[in-house]
Amino acid sequence: MLSATNVGRAYKITSNSWEYTGDGHSLGYEAGAELIDMEFVQFHPTGMVWPPSVSGILVTEGVRGDGGILTNKEGRRFMFDFIPDNYKAQTADNEEEGWRYTQGDKNARRPPELLTRDHISRCIVREIKEGRGSPHGGVFLDISWIKKKLPNAEEYIKRKLPSMYHQFKQLADIDITKEPMEVGPTTHYIMGGVRVDPDTQMSRVVGLFAAGECAAGINGANRLGGNSLSDLLVFGKRAGEFAAKFAKENSHGKIDNNKIDMYAREALKPFENSSGENPYSVQRDLQEVMQQNVGIVRDEGEMRSALDHLKTFWERAARVGVTGNRDFNPGWHTALDLKNLLTVSEAITRAALERKESRGAQFREDYPEKDERFSKVNTLIRKGEDGGMEVLLEPLPEMPDYLKQIIEEMK
């Protein structure tokens, strides 16, 4: 069974741990499972940007929820300049109302700093690209300003945001009760993954189950914060139960020892080529290309260029070499990870090219609006008979009658 995994290490800046290299997605794809919605990669708007050693580490939305504001180098709260029409009715149009919302006023509308993650990320990128960013390539997130509103602001911040206070103090030598933080978008979550049956969580490969972040379908084009844990708990339970039921009702699969030997030789191949390409160099170049060409704001030209680069990266990955022994060898682990990283990167890029519109976490500068032709389809990725990657647009399945009945009874 495939469980929670992420693809964040395909990008240069990510909140994900070092081992999140798309293994679950890639293993499912190689086994013959279909991937859907791979174009929908969520960028959290606030990750640390300085110093470089902590780049991408998450800065919780709680900072903005407790009154933190986003400003550019000119001191302007730029989020008030970019409130989408469909959110204007629920969003404060002045700073005072936004402040009252963070303090629990149920009659106040939320400040624009609490709009959707993808929208805030794009606004931050816009400020940076237009030269209004912070010194280290982000923008400012300021919670210290609330001293203008609260007499005990320093104690309030430490009590409400203790982990953020210690994180910035220890990692960046910044006291968030006295000065703003530098933040920028960081790769955080992927809505795409293995296509599974909604009841059993089994993929199109009989006996292969998936749940959590490497499965797809529940979040659609975007994910609300906090949904990933409930997703994993609910559908992880289902996947486990149905996998156990399947195992009891079916005989063990046959193991092909020749394939095991083949994969073992393939895994050890980098040791035979100690003077070959450095796997870290390939990983670094891949991350740079994905960050620049298939990131928060996309267009066809840049993504076509990314595919050209990916073809070269595949060739370089076949030539990587490592030295040393097999025990605790991070160079070897990186060499093994490259195939998975390249697989998910190609899937993301090809799916994003196929969806010629902006929806949810995907924003295409060349197709900035939603297109209803894409509202009832999934982008589907599968391995073709020639070993290449196929991309299809597949209609969304009809809702089962029993679910329609449940919805009717709930009305």
Q: Which residues are catalytic?
A: 44, 64
Q: What is the per-residue DSSP string for 71-134?
A: E-TT---GGGG---GGGGGGB-SSHHHHHHHHTT-TTSPBPGGGS-HHHHHHHHHHHHHTT-S-
279: Cβ contacts below 8 Å, ≥ 6 apart: 270, 317, 320, 322, 331, 334, 335, 338
| Token pair in block for residue 90 | 């629920």
Q: Which helix (H) or strand (E) holds 185?
A: strand 181-190
Q: What is the DSSP string of 358-391?
A: -BTTB-BTTB-S--GGGTTEEEEEEE-TTSSEEE
- What are the backbone dihedrals phi and psi of residue 324, each rounded to the nearest 5 degrees, phi first? 90, -170
Within a 13 Å sphere around the CA of 224, how many CA atoms are in the beta-carbon half? 4
Residue 402: both structure tokens together? 């029993």
Pairing of strands 69-71, 41-48: unpaired
State the greatest distance between any 2 C-alpha atoms of the chain, in Å, as a whole number: 72
